[in-house]
Amino acid sequence: MRSERTGDEAGSAQDGGRRGFLKYAAGIAGAAAGTGLGGGTAAAVPAGRTPERSPAPSADGRHLPPDRVPFHGRHQAGILTPQQLFAGFAAFDVLVQDRAGLIRLLQRLTDRSRVLSAGVKPKDERTASEPQTPDSLTVTVGLGASLFDDRFGLAGHKPRHLKAMPAFPDDRLDPARCHGDLSVQVCAEHPDAIVHVLRDLGRATHGMIRPRWRMDAFMNPSRPSGAPRNFLGFKDGIVNPDTDSDAEMDRLIWVTPPCGEPRWAEGGTYQVLRLIRFDSDAWDDVPVHHQERIFGRRKAGGAPLGGDREDEAPDYGNDPDGRIIPLDSHMRLANPRTPRSDSSRFLRRSYNYDQGYDRQGRMNLGLVFCGYQQNVQRQFATVQRRLRHEPLSRFVTPEGGGYFFVPPGVRDEDDWFGSRLMRDTR
């Protein structure tokens, strides 16, 4: 895999934003994470293409990210980068009032992300920087639909398919945990790195953004090998596009000239985030053979029903009536494997979360679903329509998240997140 108001009101909002950000960022990173259901920094080096240490499988078969993931490249890191063990997802509202302020915000996010990704931290505000373990750190920044309003002159330059994430039929979305002007995805090999990076970014953007929602997450180790498992006990993220294929990535993940998007968006991608809670108590009451028919896979080994290996393609052609793999199983609805459905595939990069017990004493477990794609309407939204009222929907409830557009990568030391957007809209 490859590693990419008035002045008084504004001041009050900025002070509140600073306090709120630090409160958020200082939280313990123990709650967290998973996989998707179903399944120095050299200039001009594409993110993840030429790591300082080539990824190698771990003892459990997991593809390890490099020690230091290149920050600069055509695409942002943290998309094709081999999946790190821990992740933090956060969305923010922008408090700055004009284009100059937005540019400063994006440049500060870039400067700090560049330094941290290189494995350098400041000793204090008065002394030179000192090295630290880079921890396979990646910071990925996305832009929400609400950023493209009249505040910054961006209204006519919004990506074609970017909008506020709608509520699909089986959702129970909490507005307080949805959307945002910016998304920040931080991934690393240790949970404390996530917290330290968010705290650092909070200091760098003092008074410029306010946290809207946040979820820390982690990837359950593969057992005994192959894809990791979610908290429903099934292997997850088994089938993904081939990230080693430039043609496949240009067809399904990256925005290219034929897409008809604004020129500044070429090389970017759409990010879908979904905070999905599991009703694990009800799920545990379902017999395993019924669970397997809901997913369409064996629980122990991950093979499709009727198959032997988790990486084996299901034989839908010889099962047209769904006697082996039910027609309404999650895997069959999500990916029917027809010529028409091929263009709706996307890259899943999801993590599990664990937020302890709720007020009723039930474990609050779930998934931070993260998907990257070229066209959110053709891909994610199409798949969601196929999954409408599927049997699995009785046990999983999307409660938050949002649609974001991840701009192209930061090319070199003089570049910054969103630079082409801001330059094209002058």
Domain segments of the chain as ranges: 7-424
Q: What pLDDT is recorded for position 52?
A: 36
Digits of tens for pLDDT over the chain (426 positions)? 333 433 333 344 444 443 343 333 333 233 333 333 543 322 333 343 333 344 556 655 667 888 999 999 999 999 999 999 999 999 999 999 999 999 999 999 999 999 999 987 655 554 456 667 789 999 999 999 999 999 999 999 999 999 999 999 999 999 999 999 999 999 999 999 999 999 999 999 999 999 999 999 999 877 778 889 999 999 988 889 999 999 999 999 999 999 999 999 999 999 999 999 999 999 999 999 999 999 999 999 999 999 999 999 999 999 999 999 999 999 999 999 998 899 999 999 999 999 999 999 999 999 999 999 999 999 999 999 999 999 999 999 999 999 999 999 999 999 999 999 999 887
Instruction: Give Dmax (Cα) for the chain.
Output: 70
Nearest to residue 234, comparing CAs of 353, 330, 313?
Answer: 330
* Gap between the Cα atoms of 303 and 313, Å rounded: 9
Whole-prediction pTM: 0.85
Q: What pLDDT is recorded for position 425?
A: 82
3-state helix, strand, coil in the chain (%, to 5): 30, 20, 50
- Contacts (Cβ under 8 Å, ≥6 apart) of 103: 422
Residue with structure tokens 């832009």? 143
* Gap between the Cα atoms of 41 and 137, Å rounded: 12
Q: What pLDDT is recorded for position 132?
A: 73
DSSP H/E element including 135: none
Summarised one tens digit per residue, pLDDT across range 12-43 is 444 444 334 333 333 323 333 333 354 332 23
Q: What pLDDT is recorded for position 59?
A: 58
* Gap between the Cα atoms of 20 and 189, Å rounded: 26
* Gap between the Cα atoms of 410 and 384, Å rounded: 32
With 0-12 / 13-18 / 19 or more C-beta atoms within 10 angstroms meaning exposed / middle / buried, residue 156 is exposed
* Gap between the Cα atoms of 205 and 207, Å rounded: 6
* Gap between the Cα atoms of 294 and 278, Å rounded: 14
Residue 76 tokens read as 């942002």
Nearest to residue 79, comparing CAs of 183, 215, 155?
Answer: 183
* Gap between the Cα atoms of 379 and 253, Å rounded: 10
Q: What pLDDT is recorded for position 130?
A: 66
